[in-house]
Chains A and B, each alone.
Chain A
């Protein structure tokens, strides 16, 4: 089951920041990583990815750099900034609270998961 709806839009920035916190990536790679890491549960729409990345860049949560890969292909790499890291920590904390709240409502379903 994939989440491509409004539910994902809310947490997409946190997901992207989380992935980028583990290392710099280019757009396609980031897409693939999200799908792989989530076992294909989370899939960021391609039409959403780039506007999302540019918005994070505008907020200075990520920085970008053009690099040429060994294959000779030029790619734009995104990496999380220190501001991005702080924002990620904050968002994760909020998510944690959300899960706790949901857990209480749904009778420990999320903890079990």
Chain B
């Protein structure tokens, strides 16, 4: 229908109509209608013309009467648009609004992808300095520990499921003895390694080619396909951690074997070696390493208590063990070092901001994701272009880590009674919400270990008292009076010392109030299902008598 009967009207008219239709810029069907109507108009107007010349003259006159073709096309288009039904107009307006929204959203997002960060700090090099703390390489326990790991041979199948040595059958005992004999060099190496004063890991730099530091790291980021630096470092460490666990369990088997032989001194030395290994690994590295260190320390403490429970230990050995254990830990300092974690966050910041704009840098996509608000605020801030700048985020992180250090010094009891919780700190971003659960978990582990060590020291002191006097002390104060302990052992889950119950001249119970922060009279802790668990959420954490597992 668009080109109708074009031969019946002069070419000049056809050109004019084509021009008008072209300038209409409207739907094809409407254009065809208008074209047909205009052609009909000209046909009617030219119908009476006799000759071709007369027709051409008349056509020129008509075209002049029509005026400017461009204006006509525009006027027709405008009028035709008004002819659209309401639903069509509504739909078009809705689509236009949606389109505008999409465009605005793209505009908002595009700001987050324009520009690139300037990497100025080599975080891994910085991290390596932080963990090393300027110590001589000869003081590092890590090479010796890794040598012990390398020497450790494979264990018999299901070794870790075997019962205590005294409860094993002949075949199991044979397996354990063979395993310990074969791995004696690894265990000796571990004993030697843990005598070192420090432990630090030097993290491998990201694989790069030549170039200056910033370019190196940027090219490494591309190589890593935008994987976060922390993930890259954790992947360096993670495969090694199970070996630490295996080494600790091997030493624990050795300790049990020594107990079975009645060799209290070597057994305690084995247990303390495990504790020392844990304390060293806790170090100042990544949080995942520190968590592993706390777990190994806890295993060592449990082993010390096991030895004290299983064999008679003379006062000299007890005194040495007490002294060794007491010196292992700095009680006044936070046990977890968050400097490495903070360095990684600062690396996220430097790779998430440009160097231009107000506040020392404009946020790019990763920065907006992590620090753009949580979670409803995130969208609001994104659409209002209300992104935090680098300065604000750095201040936020500084404040957060200051709070975290402070939080570590507040006991669970104080947290509960003073209403102090990690969630009370400035939690307003996806980043803080992401790290909170893991930090809370690690914090819990640290307080449990502290309580465990207090209990272990107390049991050693009680045993020393018993060795001296032949009976148990009436109260824990007697230990302080006797000079066996400097102060009463703290229960971080109550407002007083650990709870001591003297049952007879030879029997006693020592426990912490545990996670429920309530004295349940020494009832063994259970989990939510009612199953007995060392650190269950209900009941008390009973350290003595030792629950054999």
Q: Do A and B bind each other?
A: yes
Cα A58 to Cα B66 with chains together (Å): 22
A45-57 vs B, Cβ < 8 Å mask (1 yes, 0 no) = 1110011111101
A38-81 vs B, Cβ < 8 Å mask (1 yes, 0 no) = 00000001110011111101110000000000000111100000
Interface presence of B503 (CB below 8 A): no
Binds B, one of A10-18, A23-31, A88-96, A98-106: A23-31
Set of chain A residues within 8 Å of B36, measured between Cβ atoms: 74, 76
Chain A-chain B contacts (Cβ-Cβ < 8 Å), number? 65
* Known interface pairs A74-B40, A76-B40; A58-B72 also in contact (CB < 8 Å): no
Cα A55 to Cα B83 with chains together (Å): 7
Within the complex, which residue of A29, A50, A59, A73 is in contact with B38, where a contact is CB–CB below 8 Å?
A: A50
> Which residues 61-81 in B have Cβ within 8 Å of A in the complex?
62, 65-68, 71-72, 75-76, 78-80
Q: Is the CB of B67 within 8 A of A57?
A: no
Binds A, one of B41-49, B100-108, B195-203: B41-49
Considering only CB atoms, which chain A residue lies closest to B65 in the complex?
A: A46
Q: Is the CB of A76 within 8 A of B79?
A: no
Q: Is the CB of B40 within 8 A of A47?
A: no
> Which residues 26-70 in B have Cβ within 8 Å of A in the complex?
33-34, 36-38, 40-41, 43-45, 62, 65-68
Set of chain A residues within 8 Å of B67, measured between Cβ atoms: 45-47
Set of chain A residues within 8 Å of B78, measured between Cβ atoms: 51
Set of chain A residues within 8 Å of B43, measured between Cβ atoms: 73
Interface presence of B82 (CB below 8 A): yes
Q: Is the CB of B37 within 8 A of A47?
A: no
Q: Is the CB of B40 within 8 A of A46?
A: no
How near does chain B come to A7, taking the closest CB pair, in angstroms? 17
Q: Is the CB of A26 within 8 A of B40?
A: yes
Q: B-side binding surface: helix, strand, loop or mixed?
A: helix
Q: Is the CB of B71 within 8 A of A47?
A: yes
How near does chain A come to B69, taking the closest CB pair, in angstroms? 9
Within the complex, which residue of A27, A47, A58 is in contact with B83, where a contact is CB–CB below 8 Å?
A: A58
* Known interface pairs A45-B65, A47-B71; A54-B80 also in contact (CB < 8 Å): yes
How near does chain A come to B242, taking the closest CB pair, in angstroms? 78
Cα A29 to Cα B33 with chains together (Å): 18
Cα A27 to Cα B68 with chains together (Å): 19
* Known interface pairs A55-B79, A74-B36; A47-B65 also in contact (CB < 8 Å): yes
Considering only CB atoms, which chain A residue lies closest to B37 in the complex?
A: A76
Set of chain B residues within 8 Å of A53, measured between Cβ atoms: 79
Cα A73 to Cα B43 with chains together (Å): 9
How near does chain B come to A48, taking the closest CB pair, in angstroms? 8
Interface residues on A, range: 20 to 34
Q: Is the CB of B66 within 8 A of A47?
A: yes
Q: Is the CB of A51 within 8 A of B72?
A: yes
Q: Is the CB of A57 within 8 A of B83?
A: yes
* Known interface pairs A47-B68, A74-B36; A27-B41 also in contact (CB < 8 Å): yes
* Known interface pairs A46-B62, A46-B65, A50-B38; A58-B79 also in contact (CB < 8 Å): yes
Q: Is the CB of B82 within 8 A of A28?
A: no
Q: Is the CB of B82 within 8 A of A58?
A: yes
How near does chain A come to B535, taking the closest CB pair, in angstroms? 79
Set of chain B residues within 8 Å of A45, measured between Cβ atoms: 65-67
B80-92 vs A, Cβ < 8 Å mask (1 yes, 0 no) = 1011000000000
Considering only CB atoms, which chain A residue lies closest to B43 in the complex?
A: A73
* Known interface pairs A47-B66, A47-B67, A47-B71; A54-B76 also in contact (CB < 8 Å): yes
Considering only CB atoms, which chain B residue lies closest to A56 in the complex?
A: B79
Considering only CB atoms, which chain A residue lies closest to B69 in the complex?
A: A47
Cα A72 to Cα B83 with chains together (Å): 28
How near does chain A come to B48, taking the closest CB pair, in angstroms? 11
Considering only CB atoms, which chain A residue lies closest to B83 in the complex?
A: A58
Q: Is the CB of A27 within 8 A of B82?
A: no
Set of chain A residues within 8 Å of B33, measured between Cβ atoms: 76
Considering only CB atoms, which chain B residue lies closest to A58 in the complex?
A: B82
* Known interface pairs A51-B72, A51-B79, A58-B82; A46-B37 also in contact (CB < 8 Å): no
Considering only CB atoms, which chain B residue lies closest to A44 in the complex?
A: B65
How near does chain B come to A4, taking the closest CB pair, in angstroms? 10
Cα A40 to Cα B44 with chains together (Å): 19
Cα A74 to Cα B68 with chains together (Å): 26
Pull 27 A–B residue pairs with CB atoms less than 8 Å apart, ordered by A.
A26-B44, A27-B37, A27-B40, A28-B45, A29-B44, A45-B67, A46-B62, A46-B67, A47-B72, A50-B34, A50-B76, A50-B79, A51-B75, A51-B76, A53-B79, A54-B76, A54-B82, A54-B83, A55-B79, A55-B82, A57-B79, A57-B83, A58-B79, A75-B44, A76-B33, A76-B36, A76-B37
* Chain A residues near B (Cβ < 8 Å): 26-29, 45-47, 50-55, 57-59, 73-76
| 18 further A-B pairs in the complex, CB-CB below 8 A; given A28-B41, A29-B44, A50-B76 | A45-B65, A46-B41, A46-B62, A47-B65, A47-B67, A47-B71, A47-B72, A47-B75, A50-B34, A50-B38, A51-B79, A54-B82, A54-B83, A55-B79, A73-B40, A74-B4, A74-B40, A76-B33
